[in-house]
Structure 1
Amino acid sequence: MTATTTTLRVGTRGSALALAQSGQVADWLSSTVGVPAELVRVRTEGDVDRGPLATIGGTGVFVTGVRARLLSGEVDVVVHSLKDLPTAAADGIALAAVPRREDPADVLCARDGLTLAELPDGARVGTGSPRRAAQLRAARPDLDVRAVRGNVDTRLGMVADGTLDAVVLAAAGLARIGREDAVTERFTEDVMLPAPGQGALAVECRLADRHTGPYASALARLDDPVSRAEVRAERSLLGALEAGCSAPVGARAHSDGVRLTLTGLVIAPDGRRQVRGEISGRAADAALLGRRLAQRLFDDGAAALLGDLPLRAAAAAGGG
C-alpha cells in the first residue's frame, strides 16, 4: 500500500478505556501505513447524560457523536466497543474491521478476593447492565444489585471505598487498561452469558472509503474473519429479537473459521424466568444462524420476556 502523507485521525470517546483501545488500533494502523496517528476525543451524549442507559437511548448514545465526526470528515476512522453499536446499519458508514477479539467474559471484582458464591447474603453488587443484573439475580436472588454508571476506575473505586461489595465488568476492558489484578472471578457462560459483541472492537470508516480509501488495505488486514463471524451471529440474534444493546439478552458464538456454534439467552429483569438456546452451522451463515436462533427463542417464549422492555421499540428503530 502506498503511504499517505497526512496524519491518520482516529475518532474516539475520551474515557481511559476508549483511549486505550483506540490507541492500540491507531498504533497498528500508523505503523502499517507509515503515517503518524492522532486520537481525536469526542464527548458523546452518553458521557454527558448520567441517567440510566435504558432511559437515555441505550448504549447507542456512546456512538452517535463519534460517527458524526466521521461523516463530517473531521476524522478518518472511528473505534468503538462493538457491543455499543446499534444493530441497524448506519447510513454512509462501513464496519471496516473487527480486530481479533479479546476475552468476552464478564468478571467479578469483589472486596477481599471474594467470589460470587462467597459474597454474604445481601451483598451490594454494582452494574450498569440489565443483562448482568438479571443474571446476577438468577444466580443469587439474595444480592442487592445496584445500578451504577461511570468508568472502570470509578466503579472499582466504589468497591475500594466500601460503597459496594463488588462490581461486574468486562474482562476485555480490564485487560486493555491493565487492571486484571482487580478480578476475583471470571464467570463461565452458564452463569453469565456475555453481551453480543462483548470483547470485540469495531473500526468504522466512511462507506465511500471502504475499498478505495487511503487506509482501506490496512483496515482489511486488521480485520479478523473469525471474530467478525462470531459477532455477526451474535448481533444478528440481537437484531432479530428487536432488543436493544442494553436489554437482558446474552449471546456467545464460538467459531473455528468453518463451523460456528451460537448460544443465546433472553432473561427477565428479575432473573426468575429465562429462555436459552443453541444452534450450530457454517460460519459463512453466521447472520442466518442468529436469525434462526432468535426464532427458536421466540418459539420458546422469549417474546413475553422482551415485551415488558421499553427499549425494544426504540431498538427496532435503530436506537440501540
Structure 2
Amino acid sequence: MTAATETLAPGAPLRLGTRASALATTQSRQVADRITELTGHPVELVHITTHGDVTRASLSSLGGTGVFATALRDALLRGECDLVVHSLKDLPTAPCPGLEISGIPLRADARDALCARDGFTLYSLPEGARVGTGSPRRIAQLYAARPDLTVIDIRGNIDTRLGRIEDDLDAVLLAAAGLGRLGRTDAITQLIDLAEWPTAPGQGALALESREGSPVSAALAALDDPHTRNSITAERAVLNALEAGCAAPVGVSTLATSTASGRGHSVTAQVYSLDGMESLTVTRELPGVLSAQALLRSEELGRDIARELLDRGAATLAPLGR
C-alpha cells in the first residue's frame, strides 16, 4: 500500500524514537501516554544515540541547531521508528524532505529559569558571581543585565548542571520547561519575564515528527494545539529568515497582550551583540484567527520582523548565518 491509502489498525502499537537522556525520555513518555489516551495506540520508546550525546564539544561550536535532531530524523526515514519527539528549540527551521511536523502539543513555560545558591536572583547575585550556560543568547543576556558576572560555558544534562551549583558555580540558567518536565522546579530561584528576556524560538514546545503523508501523521494531529503552532510558526520564521541557529544570540518569544479589541498576542525578537552591550528589538502583533491562512500570515509576520532587524543592522551586530 502507498502512504496515501495506508491506514492504522485500531490499537496498533507505535514506535517513538527518542534520545536516551532523562529529559528526552521523560517528555517522550509524556507524549506517548497522551497519544495512547487520545488515539488508543500503545507506544513503545526506541532509544537513539545522537552526535550531541557522544561529543563533549560545546553545542555552539557544533552549530547547535540540529545536533540532536539529525540522528532521530535518519532513524525515522529508515523506518526504525514511526515518530520522533523533538524539543522545538533544538529543531532546524528548514524542513526535512520526507518528514513533517504532525503535531505541536500545548506549550509549556517558555521562560528561562535561574537556579542559584542561597536563593539568589539575577540582580541579587554577588558581584563577579559565576553563572553557567552553554547558550550564546543567554550569555549575551547575562552580560546585558549584569556586566560584572563571570559566565562559564557548560554542558551536561539538567542534573549535572544543577550539581555544579555550590561546587564551582553560583548559578545556572536553564529552560523552565525542562525543569518542570523532570519535576525539578524546586531548584528555581527566579523565572525571568519574557518581556525583558525573550528565549529561544520554540522554547517550551515539542514537535511530533513523522513520515510525510503517513497514517501516523494523521493520528498525531489529535495532539496539535492551534495557538501553540501559530506562535511557533512566527517565531521560527524569524530565525529562518535571519539564517540564525543556536550559535547566534537571538531571542524570539510570544507574549500575551491587551488591546482595545481584547486580549491578543505579540511576537518580540531581540538580536544581541555577543558581549550583550548592544541589542535590536522588534515587536509585532500576531494574527489571532487560528486557521491555515493565519499560519501563512504568521510566517510572513516572522519574515517581516527579520527583515526589519536586518535593515537596522542585525547582521553586523551578531554572528548570523547558518
**Under a length normalisation based on structure 2, what TM-score does the superposition of the two structures give?**
0.90
Superposed displacement of residue 220, structure 1: 1.0
What is the match of residue 241 of structure 2?
Answer: 240
Distance 2:123 2:37 in 1: 46
Distance 1:278 1:77 in 2: 35
Q: What stretches of structure 1 move > 6 A for 4+ residues in a row?
A: none
Distance 1:286 1:255 in 2: 15
Distance 1:255 1:180 in 2: 23
1:279 aligns with 2:291: no
Superposed displacement of residue 301, structure 1: 1.7
Distance 1:37 1:107 in 2: 31
What is the match of residue 37 of structure 2?
Answer: 31
The one of 152, 172, 185 aligned to 1:180: 185
Q: Which protein is richer in helix relative to its size?
A: 1
Percent pairwise identity:
52
Superposed displacement of residue 2, structure 1: 6.5
Q: 1:102 to 1:193 in 2, by over 3 A?
A: same
The one of 137, 158, 167 aligned to 2:143: 137
Contact 1:129 1:246 in 2 (8 A): yes
Unpaired runs of 5+ residues, structure 1, are 316-320
SS at match of 1:218: helix
Distance 1:242 1:89 in 2: 14
Distance 1:169 1:156 in 2: 9
SS at match of 1:174: helix
The one of 279, 290, 315 aligned to 1:303: 315
Distance 1:274 1:19 in 2: 36
Amino acid at match of 2:57: G
Q: 1:26 to 1:138 in 2, by over 3 A?
A: same
**Under a length normalisation based on structure 1, what TM-score does the superposition of the two structures give?**
0.91
What is the match of residue 224 of structure 1?
Answer: 225
Amino acid at match of 1:240: A
Superposed displacement of residue 134, structure 1: 0.4
Moved more, 163-172 or 186-195: 186-195
Superposed displacement of residue 53, structure 1: 1.4
> After the TM superposition, which residues 102-251 of structure 1 pair with which residues of structure 2 at under 5 Å, given as runs?
102-160=108-166, 162-209=167-214, 213=215, 215-251=216-252
What is the match of residue 60 of structure 1?
Answer: 66
Distance 1:117 1:8 in 2: 47
Q: 1:45 to 1:192 in 2, by over 3 A?
A: same
Amino acid at match of 1:232: T
Moved more, 292-301 or 193-202: 292-301
Contact 1:139 1:191 in 2 (8 A): no
Unpaired runs of 5+ residues, structure 2, are 1-6, 258-262, 289-293
What is the match of residue 77 of structure 1?
Answer: 83
Superposed displacement of residue 6, structure 1: 3.6
Superposed displacement of residue 34, structure 1: 2.2
Q: Could you list the per-position Cα deviations for residues 237-265 of structure 1 after superposition, in whole angstroms to 9, with x for gaps in the alignment?
A: 00111111331000012469x95411000
